[in-house]
Structure 1
Amino acid sequence: MSVENDKNQEKNRLFYENLYKDYPVSNIIHWVNDLDVFLKASLTTEASWFALYQGDLQNRLKGKKVLEMGCGNCVNASIMAALGAEVYANDIASSSGEIIKKVNEKITFKYPIKFIQGDFLENKLSSGMFDYVIGKAFLHHLRIPEERLFLKETARLLKDDGEARFFEPAVNNRILDEIRWHIPIKGRPSKFNRKAFKKWREIDPHPERSFSSRHFKKAGEEFFGEVKIMPVGTLERFSKFMSWGKKREKFKSWALNNEKKIPFFINKNLTRSQLIIYKNARAEKLGID
């Protein structure tokens, strides 16, 4: 891997080691023990969960082998294990492994979560092993040359009828994107504040790269015969201007359910995030007969 890719991985490792070193595992235990309530709330009001679990995924996971790339706080890995999946969770940060260790100690899953620490490209897993490869806000942490290697490896690991699902930010409108950078949010200053914004950029673990739907479509088509991209968040994004509470949650649920009524070309242009589904790995691109 190139020096720049190595630097990017190390920057991400240090950032997330610190972010998750004191993550409250009690939250995960509570959500798993109250799984139906958690799913009802998350799958209807949270864009990432709403998107990633499209197509009734929660009822398709039982008994399936699933690899999660960049498991982070391990909430999704734990929920999938609670739904009966045999979960392998990968992250470059060892703090994620500590979370999984504690979760496995507290919860009796049919299949205890297996943690794979370190560089995903050195996983040593068997080809055609997984029904699903999942990434919840993961690919955008990679530089594009690095992403290409990860997608190739994803295709290798999937079964013939396997499926990769990624929830990622979407930037299909540069004007909207530029406006976004100028609106301050918690943890990120406005671009108008040049000094503070520059300092934030230096520690932000996300490389500057394309997040467009066109990019993810083209990137996927190299290794997969089927690519589907679903815009998510065109209307839901306005919830950020609302105060926390039941009205906000009700609006988010309404927005996520009604976005699909917007013509696709408009929805795609205005969306803030996307579900990316890759199927039918191209064996000829993987050196597989």
Structure 2
Amino acid sequence: MNGKPGLPELKALAAIVSHRSFRKAADDLGLSPSTLSHMMRSLEQEMGVRLLHRTTRSVAPTQAGERLVGRLQPLLRDIDAALSEVDDFRSVPAGPLRINSSEIAARLLLASTVPAFLSRYPQVSLDLVTEGRLVDIVAEGFDAGIRLGEAVPQDMVAVRFGGSARFVAVASPGYLADHAGPKVPDDLHDHACIRFRLPSGKPYRWEFERHGQELSIDVPGRLTLDHMDLMADAAAGGMGIAYVSDRCARAHIDRGALVTVLDDWCPPIPGLFLYYPGHRHVPPALRAFIDVLKETN
């Protein structure tokens, strides 16, 4: 090895391995894919070993690359933490803040928290990512995540906001005029249900609870969607019964396009939580965001 590689090249390598994509890593780092590719070729030449397997469609680490990145990741996290601690001496929070969220939660945040935060802290840039899938926020470089309480990993610090949540079964008055409404969850087997596909590709089993009795129903249905707003729209259009967040159905319910069924089987559940790893330094921008979150929800 002719010389020691620099920190930018090592961070770039770690980003490529994390994303398994030059394009996504380049977007994350604010570089062009061609610049990133040139950096990796120079790094491999400098180290005298191949670090990445490249094809026209994919990129993956070699054994040497995987071992190097495995050793680098905790060191890079320590460097980021050290830099964040220096930021504590700034008079105001500054820099990027990356939060992974569900789309429903993001809509709620955009109504009040985000505008107030951006107005109060003009030196912070907020990257709010709504991929749908539940990610490892530490491994993928997020400062925090936002999900329903049941989806928050146990080793995280969690901050509740927005009150309780509720999932409801809904149908249009027209559909219920032609089909007797279900009295118990098992009655759904006799109905046209609008199914929900999880980001993993699996269908979601509808979950109900009453007096301590819990049921999970694999409902029938010819229509499957991957977005709850679309499910509520489809139900309002008379296409069947949907099981969605109360927030998604609320506008349709208020105007009479949807009514709830199986109400006594749909109790409130713990709502949304912002969560972050408790074992590392909390960036000033995240602390500021949490303060605004508590004020506005």
Give the TM-score category using the shorter length.
under 0.3
Compare CA radii of gyration and give the structure with the larger one.
Answer: 2
- Name the TM-score, length of structure 1 as normaliser: 0.26
Higher helix share: 1
Compare relative contact order (CA 8 Å, sep 6+) and give the higher one, 1 or 2: 2
- Name the TM-score, length of structure 2 as normaliser: 0.25
Higher strand share: 2
